[in-house]
Amino acid sequence: MRVIGMIVSLFVVGLVAQAHADDATGLFKKYKCTKCHATDSRLETAPSYDEIARKYKTTADAQTQLAKVVKDGGSDVWGEARMPANPYIPDADVAAMVKWILKH
Ligand code: HEC
C-alpha cells in the first residue's frame, strides 16, 4: 500500500508541476477573470480567449496592448460592456495571462 501511495503522490506532484509550467489558468481563477471570460465559448459577459487570440493574431504589439487593457480596463472593442481595470495585479501575472490568451 505504501508504494501505491507514493506513486499516487508522485503523479499528483507531477500534474501540479505541469499545470504551473505554461498555464495561466490558475491566475484567471485567482483574479476572477473566469467570472466573465471563458476560453472557447462566448459568455454573455465578455469575449472568449479564443476570440481574443484570433482577433489579435496579426497585431504586432498585441502583448503590450492587451496587458494595458487588463491593467487599465477597456471598452468599445467588443461591445458596450466594460472590461474592468485591475491595477493591483502584478505586471508579471498580467503578462503571463495575456501570453496564455494569445498562444494557448
Ligand atoms: C466584469 C467582467 C470581466 C472581468 C472580471 C474580466 N473581463 Fe476581460 N473583458 C470584459 C469585457 C466586457 C471585455 C470586452 C471589452 C471591450 O469591448 O473592449 C473584455 C475584454 C478583455 C480582453 C480583450 C481586450 C481588447 O481590447 O480586445 C482581454 C485580453 C481580457 N478581457 C482579459 C481579462 C483578464 C486577464 C481578466 C482577469 C484579470 C479579465 N479580463 C476580467 C469583461 C471582464
Atom number of ligand 1 nearest to Cα 74: 18
Q: Which of 83, 94, 101 best tests ligand 1's pocket when mutated (most atoms within 8 Å of CB)?
A: 83
Convert the pLDDT of each residue in 27-39 to its tens digit.
Answer: 999 999 999 999 9
Do the beta carbons of residue 85 and residue 72 sit within 8 Å? yes
pLDDT value at residue 3: 61
| pLDDT (average), residues 80-99 | 97
pLDDT value at residue 21: 47
CA of 7 to the centre of ligand 1 (A): 41
Read off the pLDDT band of 23 (50, 70, 90): confident
| pLDDT (average), residues 86-102 | 97
Convert the pLDDT of each residue in 29-71 to its tens digit.
Answer: 999 999 999 999 988 889 999 999 999 999 999 999 999 999 9
Question: Could you give the CA distance from residue 61 to residue 46 in angstroms, rounded to a whole number?
Answer: 22
Q: Indicate if the pLDDT at residue 80 is higher than 60.
A: yes
Question: Could you give the CA distance from residue 25 to residue 97 in angstroms, rounded to a whole number?
Answer: 8
Can you read off the three cell numbers belonging to residue 56? Answer: 489579435
Nearest CA to ligand 1 atom 15: 75
CA of 58 to the centre of ligand 1 (A): 19
Read off the pLDDT band of 5 (50, 70, 90): low
Nearest CA to ligand 1 atom 36: 33
Nearest CA to ligand 1 atom 19: 83
Do the beta carbons of residue 26 and residue 19 sit within 8 Å? yes
